[in-house]
Amino acid sequence: MSSSDFGIFSSLWDGLIQFLAHGLTGATWWQAMIVALVFTHITIASVTIYLHRHQAHRSLDLHPIASHFFRFWLWMTTGMVTKEWTAIHRKHHAKCEHEGDPHSPVVFGIKKVFFEGSELYRSEAKNQETLDRYGHNTPNDWIERVVYTGRSRLGVTLMMIINIALFGVLGVTVWAIQMIWIPITAAGIINGIGHWWGYRNFEATDASTNVSPWGILIGGEELHNNHHTYPTSAKLSVKPYEFDIGWMYISMLSSVGLASVKKLPPKMAFGAVKPVADEKTLEAIIANRYEVMAGYAREMRTACKRELEALQQRRGDATVLQSARQWLHRDDDKVPASVKPQLAQVRAEHPVLDKMVTMREELRALWSSTTATREQLATDLQAWCRRAEESGIAALRDFSIRLRSAHA
């Protein structure tokens, strides 16, 4: 080998080593990690905006430009097929916390859902009955059939090549972070923790919880109890202190004509207090029943606090009331069997709380009944308000008066 040939070979070798070390960008490791976080955030935004809110729940429409961008990005970063994801998620809502729910901690246990959530997803994706029944109205154009579905692995392979080109060997780490991001955040945290631990704004019929009031890291999906209460809403935050970054992005897309919001959480309207509750009042209460029960829960917490203060003034034992107070406003089927004896003791020792629990169940019966006529339910509501205002309990009286000011 001549010296000139050796020089060329040496230059090529040095160039290859330099490329593998730094890629085309020459980025340092921390710069590459910042890019990885940006990439993963775009992925979670694509999941929550496109797959979840647009495809699964139809809470917004997307312009073809935005829709195709999200589809292409998800193809490269997750390999997930739109029809599969949509069908599995719709089935989750249809069967939530019961046999047939593809990924419920109540059914499978929190450990399995948290650590093996992606395996549960892949297993359900093979169920053709699920896809046929719940996967309707998803994209079925040429690019979806031939590329995104037919060659789903090609996308993630392309993403790895791009990352290596940008960052060299470090690009493999960036790619690996992208590949595990959805299995950890969506499959593990939201599908797992979001049905096992957290706070609840509303007494939804399932075990859903809000993991955090600030939905940033997982695109707003942290507000999972809000979502299960109002599944067709494009906005997941409902309280003044909650933040849904996914909704912020949707608002930005809407401002430039790339998205159109179809539905938001209902908001109860109030006006003048009516002498008696009527059918319009009933209509407003049933339409906003989750908000009504959340308001009732606040009144129960206030009453419970007063009972605790009274016990402390009498130097009584508040241990049982302290441990049972968080369950007083919950539906009976959501209360653990181990807590029910304590609740029974609290109700026996505190007539005010007993009355409020009884009245709560009677109020809930207004929208639980499947046989009563509209006129009968309105009469029942009037009777409920009368009993509440004559109970001698300030919290019940004030709550009833506020109900009489509700209108559809």
Q: What is the pLDDT of residues 55-75, one digit of tens each?
A: 999 999 999 999 999 999 999
- For 55, residues 6+ apart whose C-beta sits below 8 A from its C-beta are 82, 85, 86, 138
d(CA 57, CA 98) in angstroms, rounded, equals 20
Q: What is the pLDDT of residues 321-379, one digit of tens each?
A: 888 888 988 888 888 888 899 999 999 999 999 999 999 999 998 888 778 888 999 99
Provide the pLDDT for residue 16: 56
Q: Kindly indicate the confidence band of residue 186, based on its pLDDT and cuts at 50, 70 and 90.
A: confident
| Average pLDDT score over residue span 124-152 | 93
Which pairing describes strands 214-215 and 243-244: parallel, antiparallel, or unpaired?
Answer: parallel
Q: What is the pLDDT of residues 283-328, one digit of tens each?
A: 999 999 999 999 999 999 999 999 888 888 887 788 888 888 889 8
* CA nearest neighbour of 402 among 236, 288, 241: 288
Beta-strand (E) ranges in 1-58?
none
Cβ distance 275 to 308 under 8 Å?
A: no
Provide the pLDDT for residue 276: 92
